[in-house]
Structure 1
Amino acid sequence: MSPGPGADSAPAPKPHDDDHTSGTAPGDGPAGRGTFSSLGIRNYRLFFTGAIVSNTGTWMARITQDWLVLTLTGSAAAVGITTALQFLPMLLFGLYGGVIADRCPKRLLLLFSQGALGLCGLTLAVLTLSGEVRVWHVYLVAFLLGMVTVVDNPTRQSFVSEMVGPEQLRNAVSLNSANFQSARLVGPAVAGVLITAVGSGWAFLLNGLSFLAPIIGLLLMRPAELHRTEPVPRGKGQLKEGLKYVAGRPELIWPIVLVGFVGTFAFNFPIWLTAFADKVFHAGAGTYGLLNTLIAAGSLAGALLAARRGSSRLRMLLGAAALLGVLEIAAALAPSFWLFAALLVAIGMVGLTVNVTANSSVQMATDPAMRGRVMSLYMMVFVGGTPLGAPVVGWLTDHYGVRVGMATGGAVAVIAAVVIGLILLRAGGMRLKLDLRRGHRHVRMVPRERLTAVV
């Protein structure tokens, strides 16, 4: 997102091909091991501060939007449709957003996209405060938000590396997630109070105004201190070039496939939590906000732990995805509110680990000149799968109950992690070895030629 060409455009090193399940992502090293080390960089500190404000507003609006749709329609499927419309543009046009991000100065592009997101929030605020809001208005604004996000998402993702450089990239990605989840702690609680006290319109208004903070932060940055990546000139076949680049690298394609399954089926919390609050626990917006806050608390803890880790391992991603599915199945079967609430904290922590590990490992394994296109594919699969999964999960929730809907999403995550793990083991020339002898590691990965008889 720098306004001009720069020097930091050398390709990132690629991971070794002999062990795709346990390798360390490129760019990891001794630098940046402190939890908050990347905040020592002024440009990133401005970005981080502005994001705290806008992320809080975004979470307020997200919770308020879901509750407003449920109030207007009484249908969990309608909440799913709203979510689907917001992410449908990412599925349809996400790759083109990555091409734009690679071609344009990212800082300038973010100024326009953040301003457009603020205008969408203010539009919904005016409609709601005037008493004229209808469900189709919410659908339309959700779709427009999605259109802006097509460009905003890959631009923000790839701009992080320009602010902090490769050595601090993983730390900054983790802190971005901590930032987002910190806002998730505050936003739902504030939204619940505002909905109860003065109505939904004020939450939407505050969200629209919150985008002034990142805009100011972007304007105050020092362009000379960015690790600039030279914008890619316009040319034919750039979209196809990005797809071919990813397809030839197992360290990119399989994490993207895995987060696609997780994002499509296992991250449908707006549908599940509204239904649990309303249908299972027979509570109101305050309880819905509390459930979201519990997930955020776990996610924040997971993000801070991720910021301290110095590497991104694919086996950690696979294990976290499988564990997320198991926890969701357990939560779906939880007999009491407090057990369900406790499991949400664990779900938040593990779900965030999936997100950060996949995001940072993909970014670090990508050439800077391709990063916008690769991250647009990543976000298209991770977020763009929601238009396919949300209506299905919403239909299951409406017809068979929220417990069946949530358990199904968890089961898909477990199956995807196991299948992709087996594929990666085979691609890396590795196999699992079981050793039941006392004092030995019972389960470990070994090269195929070293595999001995199973004990």
Structure 2
Amino acid sequence: MTDSLPEPTSPFLIADYRRYWLARFLGVFATMSMVVLLGYQLYAVARDDYGMSVAEASFQLGLLGLAQFIPLFVLTPVAGLAADRFDRRHVAAFANGIDACVAVVLALATWADALSLPILFTLAAAHGAARVFLGPSMSAIAPNVVPPALLPRAIAASSIAWQTASVAGPAVGGLIFAEREWLPHALSAGLLAAAMVLILTVRPIRARHEGPPLRPLKQIIDGLAYVWRERFLLGSITLDLFAVLLAGATALLPVFARDILHVGPEGLGLMRAAPAFGAASVALWLSFRPLEREVGAKMLISVAAFGALTIAFAYSRSFALSLAILAGMGAVDMVSVFIRSSLVQLFTPDDKRGRVSAISGLAISASNELGEMQSGLAAALFGAVGAVVFGGAGAIFVTLVWAWYFPELRRARSFEPQELKREVSS
């Protein structure tokens, strides 16, 4: 009788996880490049081909974000159901395939000088539809390919893939775009096809169901009811929703770059990259030294720290200090995201992970998109500095309220699944 193989000590020792990680990196690299350039091209088309003013063309950029969010809002229940009902590899590959088609059309239309606002808005909506199916399926795959003890490290490593790709993708795409405008989209199509193949090489993954399968509509309702019923999940998801919705200063960075810090577009690029740099640095650290104790309290402290740093950024008049604060905001946000993602995945039964991940993804997207709208409205009322201060203070207030109203969050002390369930229910 042979001895059983030793448990892996790193998620990268698992072949399926390595393929999953690379697929995630390539997919994010490609889509971030594509989306940033799509916005740039839409603005150029609005100005040059439609003769719009700066204000009118800027408004089109706002509509572009809305075009991506509407499919996300409408299809989230269906996407979560698909991740729980079908092979998650196939759902993720299907989503990457849609994005690859979007990239091909963008490349061809750019090459033929045939871009128009209807084409660009349609492609943005198609990307939004792909994104809503990709998120829950990819999030639910990681717990299926690594043991629970390694899941926090796997999530941290996955965050490294996302953060580095989200910085490198637009940067590389922009450099190539300057030489051949159609070429970065063609590159994105190839990378997305590679991601699709990689995810299909992961061993078959289908959610494990307990009891007879429910009808599709009943499954959707069951997923929503589960999140509403489990106060721990509801508190975790809504904490991020309201805190980021209030404290999202990203939309106002152009104002700070141009009129407050006076650093121009070059400085704006560094300011946009600083939070991702901070987040990637912390994600790398957590992949080797994951948090283990008092994780719920640390999550709440991280969200409050994000709000405090947001206020500090509003008052900074030093470019170097502002970059450091933005990197700090990305770092503490990464701690919060790491803990919340790990807790949600570990607390959720496998047969509901797709639907819960879809709801969590919708909350994150809503906080980002609606947060930009809130920032713009607040800036119109209080000015850019006042709006950022208001948002940071709001995030701290939300954290205090959630710590009181959802004591389950404070009780989460570890990532051990059985201990976690006992802690939050005590």
For the superposition of Structure 1 and Structure 2, which TM-score range results when normalised by the shorter chain? 0.7 to 0.9
Moved more, 320-329 or 212-221: 212-221
Q: Distance in 2 between matches of 1:317 and 1:218?
A: 31
Q: Distance in 2 between matches of 1:181 and 1:207?
A: 17
Q: 1:216 aligns with which of 189, 197, 217?
A: 197
Confirm whether residue 261 of structure 1 aligns to residue 234 of structure 2.
no
- Larger RCO (alpha carbons 8 Å, 6+ apart): 1
Q: Which residue number corresponds to residue 213 of structure 2?
A: 233
Q: Say whether the 8 Å CA contact 2:87–2:206 is kept in structure 1.
A: no
Q: Alpha carbons of 1:428 and 1:182: their partners in 2 closer, same or farther (altered >3 Å)? A: closer
Q: Distance in 2 between matches of 1:77 and 1:333?
A: 28
Confirm whether residue 51 of structure 1 aligns to residue 24 of structure 2.
yes
SS at match of 1:237: helix
Confirm whether residue 102 of structure 1 aligns to residue 84 of structure 2.
yes
Q: Which residue number corresponds to residue 244 of structure 1?
A: 225
Q: 1:314 aligns with which of 296, 318, 322?
A: 296
Confirm whether residue 289 of structure 1 aligns to residue 269 of structure 2.
yes
- Please show how residues 343-362 of structure 1 align to structure 2 within 5 Å: 343-362=325-344
Q: Distance in 1 between matches of 2:312 and 2:228?
A: 35
Q: Give the structure with the higher percent helix.
A: 2
Q: Distance in 2 between matches of 1:293 and 1:117?
A: 24
Q: Say whether the 8 Å CA contact 1:119–1:208 is kept in structure 2.
A: yes
* Structure 1: gaps of 5 or more residues: 1-30, 431-455
Letter in 2 for 1:57: A
Q: Distance in 2 between matches of 1:181 and 1:98?
A: 24
SS at match of 2:366: coil
Q: Alpha carbons of 1:190 and 1:405: their partners in 2 closer, same or farther (altered >3 Å)? A: farther
Q: Alpha carbons of 1:192 and 1:148: their partners in 2 closer, same or farther (altered >3 Å)? A: closer
Q: CA deviation at 1:43?
A: 0.8
Q: CA deviation at 1:369?
A: 1.1
Q: Distance in 1 between matches of 2:138 and 2:194?
A: 15
Q: Which residue number corresponds to residue 74 of structure 2?
A: 92
Q: Alpha carbons of 1:87 and 1:306: their partners in 2 closer, same or farther (altered >3 Å)? A: farther
TM-score normalized by the length of structure 1:
0.77
Q: Which residue number corresponds to residue 100 of structure 2?
A: 118
- Please show how residues 124-139 of structure 1 align to structure 2 within 5 Å: 124-139=106-121
Letter in 2 for 1:63: V
Confirm whether residue 377 of structure 1 aligns to residue 388 of structure 2.
no
Letter in 2 for 1:233: P
SS at match of 2:292: coil
Confirm whether residue 41 of structure 1 aligns to residue 20 of structure 2.
no
Q: Distance in 1 between matches of 2:411 and 2:334?
A: 29
Q: 2:33 aligns with which of 41, 55, 60?
A: 60
* Structure 2: gaps of 5 or more residues: 1-6, 48-52, 413-426
Q: Say whether the 8 Å CA contact 1:239–1:373 is kept in structure 2.
A: yes
Q: Distance in 2 between matches of 1:96 and 1:133?
A: 31
Q: Distance in 2 between matches of 1:111 and 1:286?
A: 36
Q: Which residue number corresponds to residue 421 of structure 1?
A: 403
Confirm whether residue 303 of structure 1 aligns to residue 283 of structure 2.
yes
Q: Distance in 2 between matches of 1:119 and 1:284?
A: 35
Letter in 2 for 1:82: L
Q: Say whether the 8 Å CA contact 1:113–1:151 is kept in structure 2.
A: yes
Q: Distance in 2 between matches of 1:106 and 1:350?
A: 31
Q: Which residue number corresponds to residue 305 of structure 2?
A: 323
Q: Say whether the 8 Å CA contact 2:148–2:346 is kept in structure 1.
A: yes
Q: Distance in 2 between matches of 1:230 and 1:424?
A: 29
Q: Distance in 2 between matches of 1:427 and 1:283?
A: 41
Q: Say whether the 8 Å CA contact 1:60–1:203 is kept in structure 2.
A: yes
Count of residue correspondences: 393
Q: Distance in 1 between matches of 2:411 and 2:280?
A: 36
Q: Distance in 2 between matches of 1:314 and 1:420?
A: 12
Q: Say whether the 8 Å CA contact 1:80–1:394 is kept in structure 2.
A: no
Q: CA deviation at 1:142?
A: 2.1
TM-score normalized by the length of structure 2:
0.82
Q: Distance in 2 between matches of 1:279 and 1:198?
A: 31
Q: 1:161 aligns with which of 125, 143, 160?
A: 143
Q: Alpha carbons of 1:268 and 1:78: their partners in 2 closer, same or farther (altered >3 Å)? A: farther
Q: Alpha carbons of 1:310 and 1:326: their partners in 2 closer, same or farther (altered >3 Å)? A: closer
Q: CA deviation at 1:167?
A: 2.5
Letter in 2 for 1:175: A
